[in-house]
Structure 1
Amino acid sequence: MIEVQLLAVQAIGETFAGANLNEILRHIWQANTRLTLQQRGAIQDIAYGTLRHYGQIDAILHQLLNKPVQLKPLHYLLAIALYQLCFSKTPVYAIVDHAVSSSRKITRNPGAAGLINAVLRNFMRQRTSLLDQIKTNEVARYSYPQWWIDKLHQQYPRNYEAILLAGNEHPTMMLRINTLYTSVGHYQALLAAQGIDSEWLWGNALRLARPVAVEKLPGFSEGLATVQDAGAQLAAPLLDAGAGMRVLDACAAPGGKSTHLAELVKDIELTVLDKHEARLVRLTENFSRLKITDYQLLCGDAMHPSQWWDGQLYDRILADVPCSASGVVSRHPDIKWLRKPSDTDNFAQTQTTILNALWPLLQQGGKLLYATCSVFNEENNLVAEKFLSTHQDASRLPCFHATTDNGQLLPGARHDGFFYALFRKN
């Protein structure tokens, strides 16, 4: 347990230093190959859980401490121990004892162990009153930065609280069934035979009652299924590609939406583009597992088509642009604490640049689907409206599905938060 706590402290510390939590954990696994699957699961649960509830945990620490802990790793050790005390089933004495022992690994200061012990035991004695004291603190109540709460309150006055709470839920596991090789009903039967309950949502989307390791999914290595949120599975059908069409996925990695396109429509001329070579490696692995071979792979920046475009126009373009990822915080709780208020405007500039750069590559009568995994209006409808106002040859088509308002899909139990705007070149 001591090693688990210390590695979780490392993950939290590197996250607040600006790194991506998934990448941090991947590096930790590589550097600590002797870790068991159970230990990895515990580290991941503690790191994700602490970040998911960090607003509440940090507010409690402010109540318990006379002054901030100067040594950051000790502060993060207290945070993960509080998370364990609040949300895990581990016995209290084990959490406290292991945290005290972990503090001795972090610093030789003899007072550190006493501080850890006193703070955690103090919390257990005053738990109810401490939780009552922070109820009026929105950052503590919702565990988001105040600017994030204020922005959602302004943009979604009637359901901002539901959006915030959805982002703090453990995400459900969604599958996309590859109907080139099986049917949704048949795959549900395969899952049931393995004791895995599932629910059909729409299209080829299944929601599992409980997450399972992909190795336990029947036929996963043979390409029968892909892990992909049900909301993300709307992109390929909305693009409405047909056989023989020339199709571009302009920000393709890791390939979830482009492989879906290839599964839905045979004989399309598919080009997948991404500017990060490392991410293209994972993309090719996904295409290989799904036995998709008929595509062109390009490394290039969607903002600069002159560097990679061959001059032939596309019938369909998918622009799944970089964004704040504010709609998928249940899967990536580090995002809440890494984003800054200025990020949405910066992303909007990049998104507008990409749209303007890709539009000349589209055939007359062709369609371009603009997609984000954001709930912030600056990145979504405002970008779409600005694009329409500056391109007289563009019209916006309706996105028919379970969207709440003008292409915006809000996060909930059945899907993450996404935005879609479909444009046709007149």
Structure 2
Amino acid sequence: MINKRPTLSVARRAPAPEARLRRSHEVKPALQTGFRPDLKSDSLAFALLGAANAVAQVRTQGVALPQALSNVFGIMQATPQARGAIQDLAYRALRALGRSEALLAQLAAKAPEPPMLAALVCCALTLMDTPAGETAPYEAFTVVDQAVNAAAAHPDLVRAKGMVNAVLRRFLREKDALLAQAMRDPVAQFNYPQWWIDAMRAAYPSAWREVLAAGNAQPPLTLRVNRRKAGLEEYLATLREHGIGAHAVGPSAVRLDKPVAVSLIPGFAEGVVSVQDAAAQLAAPLLDVASGMRVLDACAAPGGKTGHILELADVELTAVDADPARLQRVRDNLDRLGLDATLVAGDAQSTAWWDGRRFDRIIADVPCTASGIVRRHPDIRWLRRESDTLQLATLSAEILDNLWQMLEPNGKLLFVTCSLWPQESEAQAAAFAVRHHATRLTAPGQLLPTASRDQDHDGLFYALFQKTA
């Protein structure tokens, strides 16, 4: 839901995992550098213009949404309030992009140019086409008026303001018929590319609809309680004292009834809690760490699992990530928690950074298509290509093979991926076990994303191996 005075939700602020996207793109903002429209920063028109720019970067230039939003915020000199509104609308628009693009194809004789014009109309249609059961955030005619104002405020769109007005008003007049026609297209119905829908149906023939729907839901804000500093029930009581509704969804997991800004979370700054999805919180306990062990967290950034491992035991932990900038986020998280680890900028495919000392435990959260976390990163579905699955599975296999040699005999390696595609998860695990004669231990396997009150988590896969020789 977009409010006229939105607050930033931590659950929607998490950046898409660029390291996992494994694709570089030249950033070409659709707005000119230094451009600031002659609009009030708290107006819907301002938010629509910013969101349209971000969506256009994702859709036509292959830029990950967090980077696109960062470009927009700088170019438009957006206030914190405006940033929240732009971000909220951009995320909403990408979750519904399949349907809004199908509607636009009916409403316009040809694809509007420049791409930012099409993105502006799609953002407006998203606000006007509210899903059943939800309350529209704005009156429809307000959206039309503000979309026209947005077009009028941009030099490349001003000549199309009449077209924006005509298209959106026609949608209001013919809404039911247009929606009925659009919904015949699976891309519009489910809001995913056709190849994604086909792959999901093939992988999960009895659950594919529910999985796709879960990926379109608003993600929850889930916290991990640092058991070194507070008990689960103790922290739930603290939240009640602050008037924040929440309930337990795991041994250390607390799901807030409504997302709030991180600055409002009691104990966050002091390291009492961290933001981490309930499914991701399963990783550290599966490692079965004990004080004194040497532990490797490969592909560690942003450090959620690193911190959790150190909360469970006093281990000698090495956190490796190929991106020094993302590795700094690990350091920031550990500093907040009052914990320490050896941070190494290195490639998990290589041994160049390794000192030759083997580890008792290794966690490998390998690069993948991130298909299990699309509710947090809706741009992924539009950025990914079908061929990415095989390419990333090959890369991940190379990483796992490299890490295996770093494991002590009788040590354990936990393979983690946030993919739903079997090529990257179960098939990968089975092939790895055969290649290395590894003993496979009990682990959850494939967790499908779910969005109920009692079980609300992303889609992750876990396989645990023990080295017998």
Q: CA RMSD in A?
A: 1.3
Output the CA distance in 1 between the equivalents of 2:434 and 2:278. 31
1:31 Cα deviation (Å)? 4.5
Indicate the residue corresponding to 2:219 in structure 1: 171
Which residue of 324, 329, 332 maps to 1:285? Answer: 332
Deviation track 1:251-272 (CA, whole Å, cap 9, x = no partner) reads: 100000010000011x211111
1:14 Cα deviation (Å)? 1.4
Aligned pairs for 1:182-193 (under 5 A) are 182-193=230-241
Please give the secondary structure, in 2, of the residue aligned with 1:327: helix
Output the CA distance in 2 between the equivalents of 1:411 and 1:277. 30
1:308 Cα deviation (Å)? 0.6
Change (3 A) 1:146 1:109: closer
1:107 Cα deviation (Å)? 4.0
Q: TM-score, normalised by structure 2?
A: 0.86
Output the CA distance in 2 between the equivalents of 1:65 and 1:28. 27
Deviation track 1:307-327 (CA, whole Å, cap 9, x = no partner) reads: 110111100000001111100
Indicate the residue corresponding to 1:146 in structure 2: 194
Output the CA distance in 2 between the equivalents of 1:109 and 1:371. 45
1:25 aligns with 2:74: no
Output the CA distance in 2 between the equivalents of 1:82 and 1:125. 13
Change (3 A) 1:20 1:108: closer
1:80 Cα deviation (Å)? 0.5
Indicate the residue corresponding to 1:240 in structure 2: 288
Indicate the residue corresponding to 1:201 in structure 2: 249
Are the counterparts in 2 of residues 370 and 421 from structure 1 also a CA contact under 8 Å? Answer: yes
1:45 aligns with 2:88: yes
Whichever residue aligns with residue 262 of structure 1, its letter is: L
Output the CA distance in 1 between the equivalents of 2:379 and 2:175. 26
Indicate the residue corresponding to 1:210 in structure 2: 258
Output the CA distance in 2 between the equivalents of 1:252 and 1:109. 43
Are the counterparts in 1 of residues 117 and 157 from structure 2 also a CA contact under 8 Å? Answer: no
Output the CA distance in 1 between the equivalents of 2:194 and 2:75. 36
Change (3 A) 1:205 1:61: same
Which residue of 306, 312, 317 maps to 1:270? Answer: 317
Indicate the residue corresponding to 2:14 in structure 1: none
| Residues 114-123 or 91-100, more deviating | 91-100
Indicate the residue corresponding to 1:302 in structure 2: 348
Change (3 A) 1:30 1:193: farther
Are the counterparts in 1 of residues 99 and 183 from structure 2 also a CA contact under 8 Å? Answer: no
1:280 Cα deviation (Å)? 0.9
1:416 aligns with 2:458: yes
Are the counterparts in 2 of residues 74 and 106 from structure 1 also a CA contact under 8 Å? Answer: no
Output the CA distance in 2 between the equivalents of 1:222 and 1:134. 50
Output the CA distance in 2 between the equivalents of 1:278 and 1:109. 36
In structure 1, stretches of 5+ residues that fail to align are: none
Indicate the residue corresponding to 1:318 in structure 2: 363
Please give the secondary structure, in 1, of the residue aligned with 2:440: strand
Indicate the residue corresponding to 1:65 in structure 2: 108
1:156 Cα deviation (Å)? 0.4
Which residue of 106, 113, 125 maps to 2:161? Answer: 113
Output the CA distance in 2 between the equivalents of 1:239 and 1:71. 51
Which residue of 118, 137, 146 maps to 1:75? Answer: 118
1:227 aligns with 2:227: no
Output the CA distance in 1 between the equivalents of 2:78 and 2:65. 20
Are the counterparts in 2 of residues 73 and 106 from structure 1 also a CA contact under 8 Å? Answer: no
Change (3 A) 1:110 1:202: closer
1:101 Cα deviation (Å)? 1.9
Which residue of 396, 401, 405 maps to 2:440? Answer: 396
Identity %, equivalent residues: 45
Output the CA distance in 1 between the equivalents of 2:154 and 2:307. 46
Indicate the residue corresponding to 1:354 in structure 2: 399
Which residue of 351, 361, 373 maps to 2:418? Answer: 373
Output the CA distance in 2 between the equivalents of 1:109 and 1:317. 53
Whichever residue aligns with residue 419 of structure 1, its letter is: F
Indicate the residue corresponding to 1:385 in structure 2: 430
Are the counterparts in 1 of residues 151 and 158 from structure 2 also a CA contact under 8 Å? Answer: no
Change (3 A) 1:297 1:73: same
Please give the secondary structure, in 1, of the residue aligned with 2:295: strand
Indicate the residue corresponding to 2:181 in structure 1: 133
| Residues 82-91 or 202-211, more deviating | 82-91
1:109 Cα deviation (Å)? 6.9
Output the CA distance in 2 between the equivalents of 1:60 and 1:115. 15
In structure 2, stretches of 5+ residues that fail to align are: 1-43, 131-135
Which residue of 388, 412, 417 maps to 1:343? Answer: 388
Output the CA distance in 2 between the equivalents of 1:171 and 1:109. 33
1:398 Cα deviation (Å)? 1.3
Indicate the residue corresponding to 1:10 in structure 2: 53
Q: TM-score, normalised by structure 1?
A: 0.95
| Residues 232-241 or 86-95, more deviating | 86-95
Are the counterparts in 1 of residues 152 and 159 from structure 2 also a CA contact under 8 Å? Answer: no
Count, aligned residues: 415
Output the CA distance in 2 between the equivalents of 1:319 and 1:274. 11
1:106 Cα deviation (Å)? 3.2
Please give the secondary structure, in 2, of the residue aligned with 1:222: coil
Output the CA distance in 1 between the equivalents of 2:382 and 2:195. 11
Output the CA distance in 2 between the equivalents of 1:110 and 1:298. 50
1:22 Cα deviation (Å)? 1.6
| Residues 22-31 or 185-194, more deviating | 22-31
Deviation track 1:170-194 (CA, whole Å, cap 9, x = no partner) reads: 0111000001111111111111111
